[in-house]
Amino acid sequence: MFHRERVVKPYLAGGIGQAWVDDRRTYIKATALGNASAALQDASQAAHQMEAVWGRILSGESNGKELVLVLRDVNEALDAVAALKKSL
């Protein structure tokens, strides 16, 4: 309801000012915090997976392809964090 009344309606009416910017920022932060639990679970699972992968890489049980996949995952995570920081 907050989003509809204080962000969408003023935007559609062309009423964008500092109050709208503040309301939009509040909505984005609230949405991010609402998703924090799921994000923390995903991050925890990813950390355990990466720990296992690095263990295999360091012990010589893995090949370069797995390392490339891990580095790509890390890069995607960093991009997501940067995008979130930008939106706040």
Q: What is the pLDDT of residues 6-44, one digit of tens each?
A: 888 888 888 788 888 888 888 887 777 666 666 667 777
Q: Please say if the pLDDT value at position 88 is more than 70.
A: no
- In terms of domains, do 46 and 85 share one? yes
Listed in sequence order, the residues at least 6 apart from 36 whose beta carbon sits closer than 8 Å to its beta carbon are none
Domain that holds residue 88: 38-88
- In terms of domains, do 61 and 74 share one? yes
- In terms of domains, do 8 and 49 share one? no
- In terms of domains, do 17 and 44 share one? no
Indicate yes or no: pTM above 0.75. no
- In terms of domains, do 48 and 75 share one? yes
- In terms of domains, do 42 and 28 share one? no
